[in-house]
Amino acid sequence: MFNVFMEEILLIAVLTIIASWVGTLSGFGSSTVLVPVLLIFYPLPETLLLAGILHWFNDIWKVSLFRKGIKWKLILSFGIPGMLATIFGASLIFSAPEEILSRVLGAFLVAYALYLLVQHKFKVPTSIPTAVTGGALSGFFAGIFGLGGAIRIDFLTAYNLPNVVYIATAGAIGLVVDSTRVVTYLAEGSLMDQGLWFGLLLFVPASFLGAKLAQKMVKKIPQKQFRLVIALFLLVAGVKFLFLP
């Protein structure tokens, strides 16, 4: 039993490294990988709580490693509406049947993956209303599905930020949103297996390792091709949750 438990912890640690690396490089956040994979093995509330905690640490790594690029005006414009929308989204997972939420998540992932494949054709204006809308939408989907980072980045992309600035600012906004959603999950009664709490001792440094690897590679990987791979991953995961038990 102990060997099985340790194997599970080690596998999640490896997944965390990959998710943190992918999430930091793309700006989408580690939940983009963590949620679809963890949801195969754990209930939705437990998945969102664990992914939310790890995503929160990933935000801290992004802010600390890329702190010179933070844009405070964008953080306020995105963060405040995002925080309010997150509370609403996070509270919904405790009032709707999990099976329905899983199907809706599948449909969301499929739709979003398809959008990522054609997103270069769409542009949003750089304005305060754009930031507020982007913050609210990303906050809501972060709360209910743990996957608001990709939406946030779409709106941030309109500002043509350099890579370092874009990662730092996205991380700071994510820190506000993720702090809010983790507190909401816990306040609503979300529980996590004791072994997973213990596993955080390994998962947290694993998330830092992934972010550190991303820092060294941020200027070496073409963003367009990298995001295409992520879109295909989300498409496969979405099909699974939408059509398979």
Q: How confident is the model at residue 221 (pLDDT cuts 50, 70, 90)?
A: low
| Residue whose C-alpha is closest to residue 34's, from 19, 17, 56, 24 | 19
Q: What is the pLDDT of residues 233-245, one digit of tens each?
A: 778 878 888 876 5
**Mean pLDDT (whole number) for 195-210:** 91
Give the tokens for residue 167.
Answer: 């990662």
| pLDDT given at position 15 | 93
| pLDDT given at position 224 | 66
| pLDDT given at position 93 | 84
Neighbours of 157 (CB within 10 A): 18
Answer with the residue of higher pLDDT: 3 or 10. Answer: 10
| pLDDT given at position 180 | 92
What whole-number percentage of the chain has pLDDT above 90? 16
Q: How many domains does the chain have?
A: 1
| pLDDT given at position 211 | 84
Q: Which residues of 84-120 are buried (b: 16+ CB within 10 A; e: fewer)?
A: ebbbebbbebeeeeeeebbeebbebbbebbeebeeee
Neighbours of 146 (CB within 10 A): 32
Q: What are phi and psi for residue 9, nearest 5 degrees? A: -65, -45
This prediction has a pTM of 0.83
For the chain, state the CA radius of gyration: 17
Residue found by looking up tokens 């509370």 in the block:
87
Q: Assess whether pLDDT exceeds 90 at residue 12.
A: yes
> What is the chain's mean pLDDT, rounded?
81
Q: What is the pLDDT of residues 84-137, one digit of tens each?
A: 999 998 888 888 787 788 888 888 888 878 877 776 555 666 777 878 888 888
Distance between CA 185 and CA 193 in Å, rounded?
Answer: 14
Q: How confident is the model at residue 11 (pLDDT cuts 50, 70, 90)?
A: very high
Q: What is the domain range of residue 239? A: 2-243
Q: What is the pLDDT of residues 38-84, one digit of tens each?
A: 988 888 889 999 999 998 988 888 788 777 667 777 788 888 888 99
Q: How confident is the model at residue 217 (pLDDT cuts 50, 70, 90)?
A: confident
| pLDDT given at position 119 | 65
Element (H, E) at 173: helix 163-187
| Residue whose C-alpha is closest to residue 171's, from 72, 60, 31, 11 | 60
